[in-house]
Amino acid sequence: MNEFEVRPTPDDPRLSRHLEGIDHEGNRVETDVVTERPLTLFLNAREIVTMMTIGDHPDLLAVGFLLNQGMLKADDVITAIDYDEDISTVVVRTERQTNYEEKLKKKVQTSGCAQGTVFGDLMEEFDAIRLSPEARIRTSWLYALTRKINTEPSLYLKAGAIHGCVLCQEDRPLVYMEDVGRHNAIDKIAGYMLMNRVAPGDKIFYTTGRLTSEMVIKCVKMGIPILVSRSGFTAWGVDLARKAGLTLIGRARGKRFLALSGAERIVFDADLSAPEPAEDRRSVRKGSLQDADGMDADGG
Which residues touch 41 (CB under 8 Å, ≥6 apart)? 47, 48, 49, 50, 51, 62, 65, 66, 89, 90, 91, 92
CATH at residue 219: 3.40.140.10
Judge whether residue 133 has pLDDT over 50. yes
| Between 152 and 285, residue with greater pLDDT | 152
- Is residue 299 scored above 50 in pLDDT? no
Q: Say if strands 266-267 and 137-138 run parallel, antiparallel, or are unpaired.
A: parallel
Using alpha carbons only, what angle is made at residue 79 by residues 73 and 81, rounded to the nearest 5 degrees? 90
Query: Do the domain assignments include residue 238?
Result: yes
pLDDT at 38: 96
Domain membership flag for residue 155: yes
> From residue 293, how far is each of 106, 260, 289, 298 by CA, in Å?
33, 27, 8, 12
- Which of the four pLDDT bands, split at 50, 70 and 90, describes residue 155? very high
The answer to whether position 258 is within a domain reads yes
Residue 216 placed within a domain: yes
In a domain, 123, yes or no: no
Q: State pTM to two decimals.
A: 0.86
Please give the pLDDT value at position 103: 59
Domain that holds residue 196: 137-299
Q: Is the pLDDT of residue 139 over 50?
A: yes
CA dist., res. 79 & res. 200, Å (int): 24
Q: Where are the beta strands (DSSP E) in 54-181?
A: 78-84, 89-94, 107-109, 117-119, 137-138, 163-169, 172-179
pLDDT at 149 over 90: yes
Tell how far CA 277 is from the center of its chain: 26
Confidence of residue 124 (pLDDT cuts 50, 70, 90): low
**DSSP summary character for residue 122:** T
Is position 141 within any domain?
yes
pLDDT tens string 93-117:
999 876 665 556 555 444 455 444 4
- Residue 96, pLDDT score: 85
Note the Cα 156 to chain centre separation in Å: 13
Do the domain assignments include residue 193? yes
Which of 42-46, 117-121, 262-266 has the lowest average pLDDT? Answer: 117-121
CA distance 271 to 126: 37
H helix and E strand count, the chain: 8, 16
CB burial of 165-176 (b: ≥16 within 10 Å; e: otherwise) equals bbbbbebbbbbb
The mean pLDDT value for 284-290 works out to 39
% of the chain residues with pLDDT over 70: 83
Q: What is the pLDDT, as a whole number, of residue 128?
A: 85
Q: What is the mean pLDDT of residues 287-299?
A: 38
Q: Quickly list DSSP for 171-236.
A: TEEEEEEEESSHHHHHHHHHHHHHHTT---TT-EEEESS-B-HHHHHHHHHTT--EEEESS-B-HH
**Alpha carbons 84 and 88: distance in angstroms, whole number:** 6
Give the C-alpha separation, 76 to 30, whole Å: 47
What local confidence, expressed as pLDDT, does residue 291 receive?
Answer: 40
The answer as to whether 130 is a domain residue is no
Name the domain count of the chain: 1
